[in-house]
Structure 1
Amino acid sequence: MKNYILVVVAVFSFAFAKAQSRSNYVKENYTKTVQHISMRDGVKLYTVIYAPKDTSKEYPIMMQRTPYSVGPYGEGKYKASLGPNKFMMEEGYIFVYQDVRGRWMSEGDYDNMRPHIPGNDVTNKKDIDESSDTYDTIDWLVNNLPNNNKKVGQWGISYPGHYTAAALPEAHPSLAASSPQAPIADFFFDDFHHMGATLQSYLMAYPLFGYQSEPTSESWYSDKWDKLRAAGNMKDGYDFNMKIGPLKNVTENIFPDNFFWKQVAEHPNYDEFWQKRAIINHFDDVNHAVMTVGGWFDAEDLYGPLNIYKSVESKNPSNKNNMIVMGPWSHGNWARERGKQMVNHIHFGDSISTFYQKNIETPFFEHHLKGKKNPQLPEAYMFDTGAKKWDQFTQWPPQQEQISFGFGNNGELLINKAGDKKQEFTYTSDPMKPVPFRSEITPVTFTPRAYMTD
């Protein structure tokens, strides 16, 4: 037992020392400043800038806009790491983080998946969207930050991935490279809905997205979880949801004042409310480099990356710098390296995230933002989860022989063989031939990862 405790303490100490080392690297090599950048309607957005201390050369700007906080807030407090990966942090960029409108330290009203307004007229001081906020931010940065080379890249995972995608239409001329990663493309098919089905497993997320707040560095939503905790045993998702009962009880007893829950409840169908929030409808005239990234086992946003790539590709056939990367990852897992790449119990290989960061992500930005040698990345970098290897394609979907599927007797799957494609199957609750299920108790959090591999 003592040996076990010593091992745990040693592992924790190593992890803490590693994080501390990264934080020291940022502090030793970057200068942190804060700006409140005015948008065209006068709203000020809280923006944190980490600029290299070496001012002997010019650097491109790498920007992330997020609803999840640009913290840590306060003078002398630094992020543990910067940018999409450690390689880019060490290469040197001006890293910019911004709290989006109406979140954390930024002014204004928050709106989930704010509808895009085509045109981006800088003289219009009233109509704003995420594209215009990004445009105004970039315009200020390239004209005011010392030692910048007038080229800007952006990236983000999940909701920050959506804000990256939302800046593709009517982009600022200085925006040279974008990487939407696990991006939300349409909230009726990503996250809170999956193909239109409302996920009760997302009840924990509504406090974050459904209340307005004044500029603050503190959580405005933590106490909103109290009613959820009071509704049932949150360690047992099945028991919790059974005790809640019909979803009208959520409206009446848990989130009576939550504006996002109200919107979801009032718009159960794919009506105009959802359609105008689909950013994939607005990717005309995207002429800079785009690399969309996703994971085959992403339980939150699998629809987003595939359809954002597809939309940019179909609407901009002359853009030769639109590519997609799909790997054996769960949500955002490519930003972390754990050695063995596992999803649930399945091992896909070692150091796969490092390979992506070093050989795909970093060369993409280095080429388009710094003018370094063209890495000749393919149109599609796709991980074959069966063969457990990367494949490269000059187009996606690839041109290849068509495969036909059919059914044989007793549910047999037929590949390129004659069979009945319309055969029906029934399932009986039989212990000797069980319907697949998971026996463990799942807490009330978000969508469990395990079912993506089951």
Structure 2
Amino acid sequence: MRKPAWVALTALLASCNAVALAQAPPNQGPPGDIPDHFARPVAQDDYVRRIEMIPMRDGVRLYTVIVIPKAAQGAPIVLTRTPYDAHKAAADSDSPLMTEVLRRGDEELAQAGYIRVYQDVRGKYRSQGVYEMTRPPRGPLNASATDDTTDAWDTIDWLVKHVPQSNGRVGMIGSSYEGWTVVMALLHPHPALKAAVPESPMVDGWMGDDWFHYGAFRVPNYDYIAEQTEQKGDGDGVPRAQYDDYTTFLEAGAVGAYANAAGLDQLGWSRKLQAHPAYDSFWQDQALDRLVAQHPSDVPTMWEQGMWDQEDMWGANHSFAALKRAGHEGNNWLVIGPWFHSQVGADGRSLGPLLWQGDTAQQFRRDMVLPFFREHLQDGPPANLPRVNFYEPALNHWQSYPDWPAAQASTPLYLRDGYALSFHKPAAAGSDSYVSDPARPVPFEPRPARFDDRAAWRTWLVHDQRFVDGRPDVLTYRSAVLDKPIKLAGAPIADIVESTTGTDTDVVVKLIDVFPGQVRAQPGMGGYELPIGTDILRGRYAHGFTTPSPIVAGQPQHYRFTLPNVNYTILPGHRIMVQLQSTLFPLYDRNPQTYVASMFEAKPSDYRAATITVQHAPDAASAVWLPVVKDAAIK
């Protein structure tokens, strides 16, 4: 029987409604509390933020955040090129105040009315292009037409043409990797680049910055490699099976096996590290201290370093020294403060248990960087900065020098019988021995060792060394109690004569200030063993860093290498201590003590205990050569 038309129409409407309901988004009804788009009012802001994709010469565009004071007119630009997210660096909060929006280290620049610019390096975060870790300069390692030198040039050229509030002058500043980008810009600087402040820059990753120290590999860099190169944005570190990183890396075996098991063989930089364990052309051709000396710029440059920088101890002071040797000291300055890595951008009142006179990092930014920029970016009054500013931790104030080093390492402090130290050479032959067992390496910090414990990581270079003093595989030598101060102002040199029953070894030397047993002003420092210079040499490189060679078992060898710069007075009532050992684990990978072509490929059977014998004899005298300032007035 045919249905009435109204019935059919009703059925059709019902069907349409059903389809509409099925396609409609859920929870339709009264308007919700979340708008489709929210725009924060900016009328109260004292700055304007611009986002630009600045074109490079090859067409790649780089994400750039420009923060301009609203009152700016004829203002200088300060640029930082970063692999750590420019958006985050220039948006630290939603405050209407520019001083709060930027990083803490930018506070003085914001107060001075500077235009602040952050840019993602190519291939990272919101920038286009392909990312390479510290991309080498154009040349043998980079056949393309671009590098971070050209990217800095193109960026500065765009900024001075497209930021009308600027005076056409640009300064660059940045720490660590960001410091590396500053140094890269100096290789062929844009004419508008008028001042540069590379802070703790990555300069030579094999000799003494991030990746190796004199050939010994720094294990926590695997986390950094993963975080930086797993993806364009933030990557993750390497997951841990153990709470204690000491246990994790001990059980993993060779570092190459650990990396491959963690999937890091998929990451280009990890593969490059494993392919270049020696100081070959891969490292030499991108060592920026060499390159800035070969191509010195006319840009006034202030090099900054931390005396206890746990990550990049090499770059600033060796760049300054290389430029000085090349005759280009005149437009370069050096500042070394009592800081951990990149502490210049944070609070500088203390380092671990060490307490300073005020905020030393703020003093650097306010009293050195800002006058330096004012002079060169604004035609301000001469900054009149001394050639070298170096904080004196023992006397707790800044000291200035017309040159650096103030003293050469020409005073030997000899190892003697009875685990003594003396400025007099041994009169008779003697030696001390210990067994170095890769199955029981000496920890670099009190266990549990955890690289993600930022407080412990930042301060490991000032940890009280009593935690290893007394271990049978650590030789500890002490001087008599000093009756007068000894002023050091330069880089000590370790000169150790030792033999091993193995065919390879590592030599770790620590120069330590031992405090008196009672320190009334700060009781916790009673007897404290404070390292003032620590480093490591992989023994296979004793006769040259480019060509490793096995050690002849049982034959004494000279291991001579430079420790980090110190400006330090060892006070009366203190002692000098030298500790020698063969491991700093798991900061540095274990030497199997059997010569292998590459530590990354060592097998479990290669790791063997060895007896280390340190000589102290008239014709084989082990010593640490100190840069003693003769007849120094201690003030």
TM-score category by the smaller chain? 0.7 to 0.9
* CA separation of 1:266 and 1:402: change in aligned 2, threshold 3 A: closer
Name which of structure 1's ranges 190-199 and 296-305 shifts more when overlaid on structure 2: 190-199
Structure 1 residue 246 and structure 2 residue 263: aligned? Answer: no
Q: How does 1:423-442 map to 2 (within 5 A)?
A: 424-427=431-434, 438-442=445-449
- Separation in 2 of the partners of 1:26 and 1:82? 22
Identity of aligned residues (%): 27
1:137 maps to 155
TM-score, normalised to structure 1's length? 0.81
Q: Displacement, 1:269?
A: 1.2
2:211 maps to 192
Q: Displacement, 1:53?
A: 0.5
Letter in 2 for 1:43: V
Letter in 2 for 1:112: M
1:6 maps to none
Q: Name which of 38, 44, 57 aligns with 2:61.
A: 44
- Separation in 1 of the partners of 2:397 and 2:443? 28
Q: Displacement, 1:377?
A: 0.3
Q: Displacement, 1:421?
A: 12
Q: How does 1:86-235 map to 2 (within 5 A)?
A: 86-117=107-138, 126-188=144-206, 189-211=208-230, 213=232, 218-219=233-234, 221-222=235-236, 225=237, 228-229=238-239, 231-233=240-242, 235=243
Name which of structure 1's ranges 275-284 and 392-401 shifts more when overlaid on structure 2: 392-401
- Separation in 2 of the partners of 1:25 and 1:87? 23
Q: How does 1:255-294 map to 2 (within 5 A)?
A: 255-283=264-292, 284-294=295-305
1:68 maps to 84
Q: Name which of 25, 28, 41 aligns with 2:45.
A: 28
Q: Displacement, 1:156?
A: 0.3
- Separation in 2 of the partners of 1:402 and 1:444? 37
- Separation in 2 of the partners of 1:40 and 1:58? 27
Q: Name which of 359, 362, 369 aligns with 2:367.
A: 359
Letter in 2 for 1:310: A
* CA separation of 1:401 and 1:71: change in aligned 2, threshold 3 A: closer
2:458 maps to 449
Q: Name which of 340, 351, 357 aligns with 1:330.
A: 340
- Separation in 1 of the partners of 2:104 and 2:289? 25
Q: Displacement, 1:247?
A: 2.5
Q: Contact between 1:296 and 1:327, CA under 8 Å: does it hold in 2?
A: yes
- Separation in 1 of the partners of 2:205 and 2:313? 12
Q: Displacement, 1:104?
A: 0.5
Q: Displacement, 1:401?
A: 9.9
Q: Displacement, 1:25?
A: 12
Q: Name which of 384, 395, 399 aligns with 1:387.
A: 395
Determine helix, strand or coil for the equivalent of 2:87: coil
Name which of structure 1's ranges 249-258 and 373-382 shifts more when overlaid on structure 2: 249-258
Q: Deviations over 1:64-99 (max 9, x none)?
A: 000011123999967732584322210111111000
* CA separation of 1:394 and 1:428: change in aligned 2, threshold 3 A: same
1:296 maps to 307
- Separation in 2 of the partners of 1:86 and 1:403? 43
Q: Displacement, 1:427?
A: 4.6
Q: Displacement, 1:232?
A: 1.2
* CA separation of 1:438 and 1:52: change in aligned 2, threshold 3 A: closer
Return the index of the structure with the highest Cα Rg.
Answer: 2
Name which of structure 1's ranges 79-88 and 178-187 shifts more when overlaid on structure 2: 79-88
Letter in 2 for 1:130: D
Q: Displacement, 1:410?
A: 2.1
Determine helix, strand or coil for the equivalent of 2:400: strand
Q: Deviations over 1:330-356 (max 9, x none)?
A: 111122126x322x2222333222222
Q: Deviations over 1:228-286 (max 9, x none)?
A: 32x511x2111111232223323432123111111111111111222222122221231
Aligned residues: 404
Q: Deviations over 1:344-398 (max 9, x none)?
A: 2222333222222221121111111111111210110011222222111111112
* Greater helix share, structure number: 1
- Separation in 2 of the partners of 1:50 and 1:64? 12
* CA separation of 1:145 and 1:61: change in aligned 2, threshold 3 A: same
Letter in 2 for 1:426: S
Q: Contact between 1:83 and 1:95, CA under 8 Å: does it hold in 2?
A: no
Cα-Cα RMSD: 3.0
Q: Displacement, 1:402?
A: 4.9
Q: Displacement, 1:196?
A: 2.0
Q: Contact between 1:113 and 1:277, CA under 8 Å: does it hold in 2?
A: no
- Separation in 1 of the partners of 2:245 and 2:43? 40
Q: Contact between 1:35 and 1:47, CA under 8 Å: does it hold in 2?
A: yes
- Separation in 1 of the partners of 2:211 and 2:43? 35
Q: Deviations over 1:205-224 (max 9, x none)?
A: 121233453xxxx53x23xx
Letter in 2 for 1:259: G
Name which of structure 1's ranges 60-69 and 242-251 shifts more when overlaid on structure 2: 242-251
Q: Displacement, 1:147?
A: 2.0
- Separation in 2 of the partners of 1:382 and 1:287? 24
- Separation in 1 of the partners of 2:448 and 2:225? 23
1:374 maps to 382
* Greater strand share, structure number: 2
Q: Deviations over 1:86-119 (max 9, x none)?
A: 222101111110000111100111111222137x
Q: Contact between 1:406 and 1:420, CA under 8 Å: does it hold in 2?
A: no
- Separation in 2 of the partners of 1:114 and 1:243? 33
* CA separation of 1:114 and 1:422: change in aligned 2, threshold 3 A: farther
Letter in 2 for 1:195: Y
Q: Displacement, 1:151?
A: 1.0
1:21 maps to none
Letter in 2 for 1:70: A
Gaps of 5+ in 2: 1-40, 437-441, 464-635
- Separation in 2 of the partners of 1:274 and 1:107? 27
- Separation in 1 of the partners of 2:286 and 2:373? 28
- Separation in 1 of the partners of 2:326 and 2:435? 47
